[in-house]
Amino acid sequence: MSRQQPVELASGGNMAGHPSRMQVPRVIPDDDTLERLHDICEVVLTDDVSLAGASRDWWPISIKWAIDGAVPALPAAVAVARSAEEVAGILAVCRESHVPVTTSAGRSGVCGGAVPLFGGVVLDTTAMSGIRDIDAKSLTARIRTGTFGPPVEEELQRNGFTLGHWPQSFDISTVGGWLACRSAGQYSTRYGKIEDMARSLQVVLADSSIIHTGSTGPRSSTGPDLNHLFIGSEGTLGIITEATLTIHPVAAASCRRAWSFNSVSDGLDACRMILRRGATPAVLRLYDADESSLHFGTDGVSVLIAYDEADQGLLDWTCATIDQECASQGGEPADADLVGRWFEKRNDVSALAPLYEGGIVVDTIEVAASWSKLHSLYTGCMGSLRSLEGTLYASAHLSHSYIDGACIYMTFAGQMDGERTTATAEAYYNAAWQRVMAAVIQAGGAISHHHGIGIHRSRYLRDAMGSTWKVMEALKGALDPTGILNPGKLGFSSYIAETPWP
Ligand SMILES: Cc1cc2nc3c(=O)[nH]c(=O)nc-3n(C[C@H](O)[C@H](O)[C@H](O)COP(=O)(O)OP(=O)(O)OC[C@H]3O[C@@H](n4cnc5c(N)ncnc54)[C@H](O)[C@@H]3O)c2cc1C
């Protein structure tokens, strides 16, 4: 229920020992600006340990840098906001002084989104915590966005409800981070992605006005849905301070299923047909043969696991549908204990740090495509990773399904050559990402399903958005004319310098 980093920074909390890895100008607010921030916020941190803590998130290549004692980029101050009004005040001061503001929550992002690329001020949202109210009749909850996952579920479940949003990073991420990155929980096939849950938002704009988006009813026909302007905007268009999200009664029963397939393609067809029949099991995951072997000890088969929670009648039908469609695609029933094995290990990322410490680069890439493109996207991406010099391991699973397509989640590990230096790690890392992003764009897929863009994917976003990019630029120009909000992220150019690549 708090921030956590994959590895300790080498050389302790001494900032002098933590050079910034990103070679860009660092904006340092003057004394007057810092004084004005102190007038607004009770807590403004400028000590070395706090600045080093706010300089990084879970962007995997920065784990390698942390082992070397370097951080991605250091801020000059961390301003901890307790209310939307304080957020508005911080933005006013920074706007007037042309100081960049990077919103930072759980810092569990994996693309460098919370890294204060050009220094300036980090706006820490985590003191804006707690559930404001629960509407038990309409099934909505109004939640302050700095709230981490565990207190959200604890309070909801005390009242008999669940949000149903269980990202693997549940313990270390916040409601605001989920909204800002269009997060997906492990039960998304039943409860939806975070954008499906959002009914209305309170947002502080760069001009310090506090607005409320969304309708007062469940749906409306009152112009475009402006919630979606801010959901996924990663702190570049406004700061989300409160959200009204849909909730659900805690389910009465649950069920589990496991099947195996001789090919990924048969398993994908089974998933597609399950969704097409109208079944939405909370968890529906299909692992390719390498990943099945790693997680379940199987040999040469693709394992499908399903878990659902609902009323018994609905579960009976859902499980019967899963069984029928898996059998129709040539699947073999497998031990449902495999689902239990997944539950035991599902949030365990303890293998990551030792691999980095051993000089191996590891990362995950989650992308999405329609069913008609999904198999070629999978084979294209796997081929591009496996044929890359230095790849030691590459595998994938289907993690989130929809009636029209699904998310493919890849894991890869490697090293460019025999020498395990930071430069060769970066070279391998960049080559792997470039290959996969090119394969996804070529296959007609989405370059991210739920991790977002941050610094790392910024270089690919314009190509991926094509003709719609000019709309993004117009929005940025209109909502943040001085460009202070999270500069250098989400593909936007910045008034300070170009976004560099590691
Ligand atoms: C081990 C691990 C597992 C993960 N598993 C999942 C998963 O299953 N599903 C998933 O979706 N993601 C997953 N992630 C990625 C990450 O947890 C999500 O992107 C999460 O939504 C980030 O939330 P955060 O509070 O940590 O945000 P941060 O990392 O602090 O910030 C992320 C971005 O959001 C912006 N931001 C944060 N709060 C606000 C706000 N209130 N208003 C405006 N902008 C804001 C920041 O500026 C930044 O650009 C995982 C990460 C790790 C490390």
pLDDT tens for 384-412 read 999 999 999 999 999 999 999 999 999 99
Is the CB of residue 174 below 6 angstroms from any atom belonging to ligand 1?
A: yes
Q: Which of 179-183, 194-198, 423-427 has the least mean pLDDT?
A: 423-427
182 CA to centre of ligand 1 in angstroms: 9
196, pLDDT greater than 90: yes
> H helices within 366-421, ranges in order?
371-386
Confidence grade of residue 17 (pLDDT, cut at 50, 70, 90): low
Is the CB of residue 329 below 6 angstroms from any atom belonging to ligand 1?
A: no
pLDDT tens for 433-443 read 999 999 999 99
The span from the CA of 361 to the CA of 99, in Å, is: 34
Higher pLDDT pick, 321 / 357? 321
177 CA to centre of ligand 1 in angstroms: 4
Share of the chain above pLDDT 70, in %: 98
**Which ligand 1 atom minimizes the distance to the CA of 166?**
8
13, pLDDT greater than 80: no
3-state secondary structure of 66: helix
454 CA to centre of ligand 1 in angstroms: 10
Higher pLDDT pick, 420 / 176? 176
**Which ligand 1 atom minimizes the distance to the CA of 450?**
11
pLDDT tens for 30-67 read 999 999 999 999 999 999 999 999 999 999 999 999 99
Give the model's pLDDT for residue 72. 96
Is the CB of residue 110 below 6 angstroms from any atom belonging to ligand 1?
A: yes
12, pLDDT greater than 70: no
Is the CB of residue 178 below 6 angstroms from any atom belonging to ligand 1?
A: yes
Angle between helices 264-276 and 312-328 (to 10 degrees): 140
Contact 271, 406 (CB under 8 A): yes
Ranges in the chain annotated CATH 3.30.70.3450? 253-345
Give the model's pLDDT for residue 217. 82
Ranges in the chain annotated CATH 3.30.300.330? 352-443
Is the CB of residue 119 below 6 angstroms from any atom belonging to ligand 1?
A: no
Give the model's pLDDT for residue 37. 98
Give the model's pLDDT for residue 42. 96
Give the model's pLDDT for residue 125. 98
Give the model's pLDDT for residue 339. 98
Confidence grade of residue 15 (pLDDT, cut at 50, 70, 90): low
DSSP states of 330-363: T-EE--THHHHHHHHHTT--TTHHHHHHTT-EEE
Is the CB of residue 240 below 6 angstroms from any atom belonging to ligand 1?
A: yes
Edge-to-edge strand list for the sheet holding 391-401:
332-333, 253-261, 302-310, 283-287, 391-401, 405-414, 361-370
> What is the average pLDDT across 186-206?
98
Give the model's pLDDT for residue 2. 79
Q: What is the CATH number of domain 352-443?
A: 3.30.300.330
Give the model's pLDDT for residue 8. 87
Give the model's pLDDT for residue 19. 87
Is the CB of residue 285 below 6 angstroms from any atom belonging to ligand 1?
A: no
Confidence grade of residue 1 (pLDDT, cut at 50, 70, 90): low
pLDDT tens for 200-211 read 999 999 999 999
Confidence grade of residue 10 (pLDDT, cut at 50, 70, 90): confident
Give the model's pLDDT for residue 14. 55
Q: Whose CA is nearest to atom 4 of ligand 1?
A: 169
pLDDT tens for 133-158 read 999 999 999 999 999 999 999 999 99
- Beta-carbon contacts of 401 under 8 Å, excluding residues fewer than 6 positions away, are 189, 271, 272, 274, 275, 284, 407
Radius of gyration from C-alpha coordinates of the chain = 22
For the 131-249 domain, the top CATH level (class) is alpha beta
**Which ligand 1 atom minimizes the distance to the CA of 146?**
41
Q: Which helix (H) or strand (E) holds 465?
A: helix 458-465
Confidence grade of residue 432 (pLDDT, cut at 50, 70, 90): very high
CATH topology of domain 253-345: Alpha-Beta Plaits (3.30.70)
pLDDT tens for 247-266 read 999 999 999 999 999 999 99
11, pLDDT greater than 90: no
> What is the average pLDDT across 323-346?
97
- Beta-carbon contacts of 221 under 8 Å, excluding residues fewer than 6 positions away, are none
Confidence grade of residue 420 (pLDDT, cut at 50, 70, 90): confident
Q: What is the DSSP letter of 17?
A: G
Is the CB of residue 235 below 6 angstroms from any atom belonging to ligand 1?
A: yes
Nearest in space to 394 (alpha carbons), one of 348, 431, 358, 420? 431
Is the CB of residue 62 below 6 angstroms from any atom belonging to ligand 1?
A: no
How far is residue 333 from each of residues 272, 292, 465, measured CA to CA in Å? 18, 15, 42
Contact 180, 275 (CB under 8 A): no
pLDDT tens for 441-476 read 999 999 999 999 999 999 999 999 999 999 999 999
Structure tokens at 135: 């509407």
246, pLDDT greater than 70: yes
Is the CB of residue 86 below 6 angstroms from any atom belonging to ligand 1?
A: no
317, pLDDT greater than 80: yes
Give the model's pLDDT for residue 419. 76
> What is the average pLDDT across 67-82?
96
pLDDT tens for 300-309 read 999 999 999 9
pTM (predicted TM-score):
0.97
Question: Cβ–Cβ contacts within 10 Å for residue 423, how many?
Answer: 9
5, pLDDT greater than 90: no
